[in-house]
């Protein structure tokens, strides 16, 4: 399920995507999207960032897993219909073997920070058992 609307790409030390909140959006209810869905927006920004990084070498993006979410904060109960959210992912740490920690945030069109969290992810690579790779 793809929830992001557009990939903006790198700017400064972060990678950016956008999400348009509409009545047709997945998880839409009561005039908006519950703020907890922002964790998935952040995870998809991280996936886009990883895929973007894989492209210059000609490689296919690898499957990644979200391992942990820390310090999730939100300043809103829901993202309102009509909003365009700007979601950023900035790498804080990357370990050989594919483990990374990223600082992520969701901003309103006016730049106000609506939500933030620290995500820990890992590239699955060949870690899947034989016959289990999606």
pLDDT in tens, 77-92: 999 999 999 999 999 9
pLDDT at 128 over 90: no
pLDDT at 133 over 70: no
Listing DSSP states for 119-130 in one string gives: EEEEE-TT-SPT
Band of the pLDDT at 62, cuts 50, 70, 90? confident
Of 26-40, 62-76, 113-127, the range with the lowest mean pLDDT is: 113-127
| pLDDT given for residue 73 in this prediction | 97
- Across 47-56, 58-67, 97-106, which has the greatest mean pLDDT? 97-106
* Residue 84 · residue 75 · CB < 8 Å: no
In CATH, what number does 6-123 get?
3.10.129.10
Band of the pLDDT at 130, cuts 50, 70, 90? low
The overall average pLDDT reported for the chain is 88
**H or E segment at 9?**
strand 6-11
| pLDDT given for residue 84 in this prediction | 97
Q: Which pTM was predicted?
A: 0.88
């Amino acid at each position: 399920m793809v929830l992001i609307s557009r990939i903006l790409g790198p700017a400064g030390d972060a990678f950016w995507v956008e999400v348009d909140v509409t009545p047709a959006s997945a998880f839409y209810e009561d005039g908006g999207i519950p703020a907890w869905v922002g964790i998935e927006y952040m995870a998809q920004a991280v996936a886009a960032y990883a895929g973007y990084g894989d492209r210059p070498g000609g490689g296919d993006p690898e499957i990644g897993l979200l391992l942990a979410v820390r310090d999730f904060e939100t300043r809103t109960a829901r993202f309102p219909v009509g909003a365009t959210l700007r979601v950023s992912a900035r790498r804080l740490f990357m370990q050989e073997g594919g483990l990374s920690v990223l600082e992520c945030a969701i901003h309103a069109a006016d730049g106000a920070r609506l939500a933030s969290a620290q995500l820990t992810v890992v590239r699955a690579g060949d870690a899947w058992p034989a016959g289990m790779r999606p």
